Structure formats: structure tokens, C-alpha cells
Homo-oligomer: A and B are copies of this chain.
Amino acid sequence: MLVNGREIAEDVLSTLEKERASVGRTLALGILMSQGDAATESFIRIKSKAAHRLGVEVIRRELAETSTTEDAIAALQELAAITQGLIVQLPLPPSIDAEAVIATIPNNKDVDALGPKPHEVLAPVAAATLEILERAGVSTKGKKAVIIGAGRLVGKPVAEMLTEMGANIVFVTEHAGSLDELFDADIAILGAGKPGFIKPAMLKPGVVLIDAGTSEAAGGKLVGDADASCANMASVFTPVPGGVGPIAIAMIFKNLFALAKKHETH
């Protein structure tokens, strides 16, 4: 089964559209980011488009190259005061200690579940994965789930979620574990960002394969960690582009709505 991420995202967004009136008249998403990066610009444009559709104001602070860590933290706090959700879009300018900035994201505005715990919402890629598993009727209890990459946007949050759902997690990174673990994995979560390095012969037939390992191939084309031919081995397969990505974007807004409702003071 090839997952149609655009269709699922459309579903999520249209449900949010119907809920919009119940959330509070004004709703704003704050984005702290660097200037002048074309990839960042294109990610932000996609988020802005969804915001536009949902009647969400977007406030972007494009830090200067000369901005300090203190400037960035102050900017984030100012954004927090006038928004219901915050995104720290990485990478920040090199003059800034991004870890220190991330550590100041308030829990009640953390739509990306990127800042300090406890997180009040699922990280967008974890939420997208959950949505895909539920729609495909995949049971996770007692299943072996191999997670390729232990990054904070994919590997870590998805592993946490699958652990709570009763799966047995095996991490494979550049420093630990072996890709051989994939041979008997029921579920594979790809988050390495290495174009097309997972091949069908490495997989168990019928595997549930969630590819969130987007990277940019020569020519600017988006590609996943899995070779496209893996689709033939998998019972559930998410293509890149058009799989996890659009659903994760929609989940940012699902999170924004949830946080806004929970912390509404008016």
C-alpha cells in the first residue's frame, strides 16, 4: 500500500478548517529563523500556505548573521508573548547556539515538540507516523521496529511513541547497531537523510516502511532514504515526496490548535 500523504494532509487540514471557529478569533504562529537560506525559505513557504488557509497569522523573525544567542532568545520570548505556537526553524545562523535557544521554547507553545520536556503534543513526524499506522490498521504491540537515525526530528520522537505503543525498538545509527536488523523488522522508520540507501533486499517482505529521511538529490529533487523499489517489498510504504512530509506539516497546525485550546485565556 502506497501512502498518499497529500490526501491524508488534506483530510487533517480540512478537519482543522472546520474547527477553526472554536479556537479563538486570532491565532498566530511565530517562526524564528535565519535569513537567506533557499531551503529554509521553501519549507517556510509551505507552512505559510497552510497557515493562510486556516486563518493563522504568521510572524517570522529572520535573524541577522550578526545576531547573538542572547538576541535570538530575546526574539523567541517576544514571539512567545504574541503567538500561540512557536517554531525554531533550524539551522539558525552559526553565530547562535541553537541548543541554548531551543532550551528556552516554552512547553505550552512548542508545536514541534522540540524544546524541553514534558511535551504537550507529539512531534509532527511522530504524529504523522501515528496517523499513517492507524489508517493502515497496523498493530504495533510486540512488533520489532527498527529506527534508522536517532535525530530529534524523526528517530527519537518516533521511537518514544512506538515504545509507548508496545513495540520493541532497535536503533541503528552510524555509531551503533547494524542494518542487518532490518531483515526481521516488522516496522522500519527511516530518518537518516541519506538518499536511497535502503534497498529492497535489506527488508523483510511485508514490512511497514515509513520514510521520513528526506534529503536533496542533485538537481534539487527531494528523495527519501529508501530506494523507490522498496515499495514492492513493503505492505505499507510512504513515498518521498508526498508521504510523511505533507502530513507532518498539517500536524504542526493540529498541535497549534490543541495548544491554543488548552491554554486559551480569553
Chain A positions near chain B (C-beta within 8 angstroms):
25-27, 35-36, 41, 45, 48-49, 51-52, 55-67, 71, 75, 78, 82
Contact = CB atoms under 8 A, between A and B. Distances in A.
Contacts of A58: 35, 60-62
Contacts of A55: 64-66
B36 A52 contact: yes
Contact of A35 (B27, B41, B48): B48
Contacts of A45: 41
B26 A52 contact: no
A97 B61 CA distance: 25
Q: Taking the full assembly, how many copies of this chain does it contain?
A: 2
Contacts of A57: 61-64, 67, 71, 75
B26 A67 contact: yes
Contacts of A26: 64, 67, 71
A36 B65 contact: no
A59 B25 CA distance: 22
Name the residue in A56, A64, A67, A78 with the highest tally of chain B Cβ atoms < 10 Å from its Cβ.
Answer: A64
Contact of A59 (B36, B49, B51, B59): B59
A249 to B, nearest CB: 15
A2 to B, nearest CB: 30
5 contacts: A35-B51, A41-B45, A56-B64, A57-B61, A57-B67
Contacts of A25: 66
Contact of A64 (B51, B63, B67, B71): B51
Contacts of A48: 35-36, 62
A26 B64 CA distance: 9
Contacts of A61: 57-59
Contacts of A71: 26, 57
A36 B58 CA distance: 11
Contacts of A59: 59-62
B52 A65 contact: yes
Contact of A51 (B27, B62, B75): B62
